[in-house]
Structure 1
Amino acid sequence: MIVPALTGFSASAAFILAIGPQNTFILRQGLARSHVFPLVLFCALSDAILITAGVAGFGVIVEMFPSLPVIMTWGGAAFLFAYGALRFWAVWINEYTVEIEGKPVGLWAALAACAAFTWLNPHVYLDTIVLLGAISTEFTQVSQKVAFAIGAMLPSFLFFFGLGYGARLLAPVMQSARAWRILDVLIGLLMWALAIKLIS
């Protein structure tokens, strides 16, 4: 069960670490110490729901379309290579603008914004349902899929809680373009490693 869990963990971690509006929103709220717990819990649970849908849903779809795993394997690998290349391109052009100044807002307004950043972002469906779902087809046993899903969920909880509550410690570092460049290099390398593993 270790291999599926580690595969899920590494894939999910690479996706979630990419800079985006959801992450910077949580960082800002963490800096303001505003509704941190409900916001980070909402983000982590949302990811868990989508990951479960991706891992479980792919099994049902595969029963209907047996050739889908092969198609998704190559399609997923192509996307992972492209995604990795985009991360390297971001490093090359060095255009990083991160607004992370804290701004306290009401709980419901904060949750509404968080929900929009999470559920209205097409990339979250691509990352959790399509790509993680495709990677999960590498494992055929139910116990392996469960381990993969749990492994994939763990980075969300670690990341969002760490980001929300560690915002004041991370702020000086994450305001640096160099820090995001290093992070993008690591993400790009991991994306390419996952793509190679997927098709090997």
Structure 2
Amino acid sequence: MHLTPALLTAAAGFGTGLSLIVAIGAQNAFVLRQGIVRRHVLPVVVLCAVSDVALIAVGISGIGAVLAHAPAAVTVIRWAGAAFLVSYAVLAARRALRPGTLDATMEVGSATLATSILTCLALTWLNPHVYLDTVLMLGSVANNQGDSGRWLFGLGAATASVIWFLALGYGAQFLHRVFARPNAWRVLDAGIAALMLALGITLVTS
């Protein structure tokens, strides 16, 4: 099969986008948990995918270069994101330490659609790493592909995001039986708490 330059550019965007988004982070941890409890999976997956596609488009359009010259805006985002991540870490640690909050039908399982969406929005748009990786880094690489190539590169990256969130959200449902045991939830929430706390500290100290 002969790969045209357009397909190669799109494939490069797919690989770059996938390599950036697969790394375990606050957003992925939230989608994973929602998938396990099988609660509001489709809205959360769609919101994450649409947000990622929008951020990719923003980076390719050149706004990433503007953001790079606005350190004050990045600082505000960093502190807001750190505060939210630490708060989320505290809630996850509380679930891990209190057996009464470990049931999958509680807290996350009973969370309203609005709560899930707001949490997802915060974990996505208050995360400075999203702007650094998706807008600045991916946008810079895309713009090196030329006027026409950059959008093909972005299309590949956007496709990777959509496939990843669908796989993560719906693939996590196969772990539902494993997490029928409270101890499994305790381990997961302890891991999420440690991850969120580490990310929050990193944002403040970086």
TM-score (norm 1): 0.62
Identity %: 40
Amino acid aligned to 1:46: S
Runs of 4+ in 1 over 3 A off after TM superposition: 58-61, 99-102
Q: Corresponding residue for 1:147?
A: 152
Stretch deviating more after TM superposition (39-48 or 100-109): 100-109
Q: List gaps (5 residues or longer) in structure 2.
A: 1-5, 67-95, 97-101, 179-184, 188-206
Amino acid aligned to 2:57: T
Alpha-carbon shift at residue 160 of structure 1 (Å): 0.7
Which protein has greater RCO, CA pairs closer than 8 Å, 6+ apart? 1
Q: Corresponding residue for 2:164?
A: 159
Structure 2: distance between partners of 1:113 and 1:31: 17
Whether contact under 8 Å (1:58, 1:134) holds in the other structure is no
RMSD: 2.8
**1:23 matched to 2:28:** yes
Q: List gaps (5 residues or longer) in structure 1.
A: 62-98, 177-200
Structure 2: distance between partners of 1:17 and 1:170: 18
**1:9 matched to 2:14:** yes
Amino acid aligned to 2:147: Q
Whether contact under 8 Å (2:35, 2:173) holds in the other structure is yes
Where 1:18 maps in the other structure, the secondary structure is coil
Whether contact under 8 Å (1:58, 1:137) holds in the other structure is no
Alpha-carbon shift at residue 137 of structure 1 (Å): 2.2
TM-score (norm 2): 0.60
Where 1:45 maps in the other structure, the secondary structure is helix
Q: Corresponding residue for 1:121?
A: 127
Quick check: which has more Rg, 1 or 2? 2
Structure 2: distance between partners of 1:24 and 1:101: 18
Q: Could you report, residue by residue, the CA deviation over 1:121-151 in whole angstroms, capped at 9, with x for unpaired residues?
A: 0000011110011111221132x12211110
Whether contact under 8 Å (1:30, 1:36) holds in the other structure is yes
Q: Alignment length, in residue pairs? A: 138
